Amino acid sequence: MGTHVIKMPDIGEGIAEVELVEWHVQVGDEVHEDQLLAEVMTDKATVEIPSPVSGKIIALGGVPGQVMAVGGELIRLEVEGLGNHREAAQPKAHEEVPAKPEAKPAPVAEAPKPAPRVESKPVAPAARPAPSPAPRRAPGEKPLASPAVRQRARDLGVELQFVQGSGPAGRILREDLEHFVEHGGATIASGYAARHDEHQIPVIGLRRKIAQKMAEAKRRIPHFSYVEEIDVTDLEALRVHLNAKHAAARGKLTLLPFIARAMVVALRDIPQLNARYDDEADVITRYGAVHLGVATQSDNGLMVPVLRNAESRDLWGNSAEVARLAEAARHGKASREELSGSTITLSSLGALGGIVSTPVINYPEVAIVGVNRMVERPMVVNGQVVVRKMMNLSSSFDHRVVDGMDAAAFIQAVRALLEHPATLFID
Residues taking part in catalysis: 399, 403
- Which residues, at least 6 apart from 397, have a Cβ–Cβ distance to it below 8 Å? 223, 224, 225, 226, 273, 361, 366, 367, 407
Residue closest to 334 by CA, chosen among 367, 365, 307: 307
Distance (Å, rounded) from C-alpha 354 to C-alpha 342? 25
Instruction: Name residue 66's amino acid.
Output: Q
Q: What are phi and psi of 101, to 5 degrees?
A: -60, 140
> CA-to-CA distance for 404 and 411, rounded, in angstroms?
11
β 301-303/36-41 pair status: unpaired
Q: Residue 39: which of 69, 13, 8, 72 has the closest Cα?
A: 8
Q: Give Cβ neighbours of residue 7 (< 8 Å, ≥ 6 apart).
A: 71, 72, 73, 74
Q: Which residues, at least 6 apart from 27, have a Cβ–Cβ distance to it below 8 Å?
A: 57, 58, 59, 60
